[in-house]
Structure 1
């Protein structure tokens, strides 16, 4: 799947939004990828994650386990694992840190890849990878559907993506005039009240 085909899937789902958005990283951006509008369509999700599974196999070879961060990574992690024919588990925040819960395990010797939906700064990917490293499996690397850092984010492991975008993101105190003139919305899930 080409980068244009990946973006076409997001456009077809009305998931490539323009405006003024506060990202889960706290940065502000004129573009937001509302991936849950993509993931609500099983066929679209299957196409994207099958392509991601092919990219993972090409880079890392056989994979035994996919680990994803909750919430955004659960669906693409599961669907990518299904395409790879392996298991999928996820980490959740407990006392502010990602941990495996629910009886999930990473067996010794398991070949593991972390799958994320979208990488912006790489923070949640780094946190997920740190949790994986507390277990005896062999961490091969990471993968995401869209790398909106255009390869600049350091996730702490080799990263495979279906699409790299160079989308600007700004600290709140350094907004361009045209972006500052638009009311900001925060469409992501991080920071929602429980």
Structure 2
């Protein structure tokens, strides 16, 4: 596989994480570059590991992963999106005792990163049948995701400053749309 093809796959695998990062950045209260880079690292590592897992699964049972990856991504992203929307419509006083950064902590970011990386696992399954070094491909996917998520958080920050606290609603809608798009693409590809 050529380096250009690998780079294109890397960026293609990071587009849904980029969309989710825009939503996360919009929901965060004044994220700094360090916050964006931290989210980018979390997403990038997860996005790099999942194709390796998929590659290993592809060696064992590719039909099982491909059969359900879109449903898992849809449910995880949809649930996270609904949660963000609920938090966005809460009156200001309802979450006064709550840490505003709780929803942007490690585990929440890791769950979102995992949900957006399920398609990378399916790609890893496909790569198991090609002549490609999975370690190099995983590194390319991870680095592309790091760049895209860091950029997405910072772009989302600008959006968040424009629309205030209700930006979390926008972020939730984006996560639901990303999950729905993943589901639609897989179902329409299966039907066509």
User: Which bracket does the TM-score occupy, shorter chain normalised?
Assistant: under 0.3
Which structure is higher in strand share? 1
- TM-score, structure 1 normalization: 0.25
Which structure is higher in helix share? 2
Q: Which has the higher contact order (CA 8 A, sep 6+)?
A: 2
